[in-house]
Amino acid sequence: MVSARLRLSILAGHDPSGGAGIRRDVLTARSCAPTVALRTAVTAWTSQGDGRPARAWARALPCIQRELLRDGPTTQASVVKLGLIPGALVSHEFIALLTSSTSAATVVLDPVLGASAGGSLGARPESYRALARALARRARGLLVTPNLSEARALLGVSSASFGDDALARLSEALGGASVLVKDGHGEDAERVRDRLWHAGAVLELDRPRTPGPDPRGTGCALATAIACGLALGASLPDAVAAAVRWLDRARVRSVPRPDGTWHLRDRGPRLSLDGPSLVGGGAGP
């Protein structure tokens, strides 16, 4: 039975490999916060994971709308996680649907621009910027979680460096959203430095780089784990710190697939909100 108020809604694309996309989001949510009620909507069907450039086909807006509203227009989530949004889907009608259904929610937006194997999947940077600005005006809060290359694309810069001033400018371009720039693919072989711009300050998550293979879907999983922390009542900085710790634990248990890729396990650890506070001085291991 669905409660009168759902806690977490997830909109994302379908990845046929199962390593990323909405399947990874659901598996992450069930591992991190099994007591949180879920609602899901598929935004796109994709072709990826076969060694060829990825492609995406947007679903019809009425289909997405039916899934979002299947429990009634007054049943809203307290947290919404947005993954792949194809460019063909970003329209005035889609933005109106999202803003009306997230007016009382905190939104975590993972801006998918492409696939690791190449190919275009998500909307263009300018469309994501417009979407973020609309969400920032209506939602209770907005966190955008790009990796380094996505952050540069969203800001329209090509420089290898992405300092605190760039974080501030990116937040402004996204309507004042909080921004978590992920450094998982950074150039430092020894350290990972994720940086969160929140409430006008930069909070850094600095830790040793985890050795081992790089599994698919870590960006999807991290954004969903953050959404789970928010749904469980954590502040945004504490939800980010808990999700980073969770992913660092989960990725060392990843498993190989027949196609040579690595995936996170279907059942991962639960999210712990009892670790060190990011505001209090870091989120190291």
Q: How confident is the model at residue 279 (pLDDT cuts 50, 70, 90)?
A: low
Residues pairing with 194 in the sheet: 205
pLDDT of residue 49: 65
Structural domain includes residue 142: yes
Q: Output the CA torsion 143→145→148→153 (10° steps).
A: -70
Beta bridge partners of 82: 11, 109
Is 285 a domain residue? no
Q: What whole-number distance in Å separates Cα of residue 194 and Cα of residue 240?
A: 10
DSSP string, 71-98: T-TT---SEEEE----GGG-SHHHHHHH
Q: Is the pLDDT of residue 29 over 70?
A: yes
Residue 223's H or E segment, with its range, is helix 218-231
* Stretch (H or E) spanning 169: helix 164-173
**Three-state SS at 263:** strand
Residue 75 located in a structural domain = yes
pLDDT in tens, 90-119: 888 999 888 888 888 999 999 998 666 556
Query: Structurally, how many domains does the chain consist of?
Result: 1
Largest Cα span, the chain: 51
* pLDDT greater at residue 91 or residue 4: 91
Alpha-carbon distance of 250 to 217, in angstroms, equals 12
Residue 168 sits in a domain whose CATH number is 3.40.1190.20
282 pLDDT above the threshold of 70? no
Q: Is residue 214 helix, strand or coil?
A: coil
Residue 184: pLDDT over 70: no
Q: What is the pLDDT of residue 281?
A: 47
Quick one: what percent of the chain has pLDDT higher than 70?
Answer: 88
Evaluate if residue 284 carries a pLDDT over 50. Answer: no
Whether residue 268 lies inside any domain: the answer is no
Domain hosting 138: range is 8-263
In a domain, 116, yes or no: yes
CB atoms within 10 A of CB 11: 26
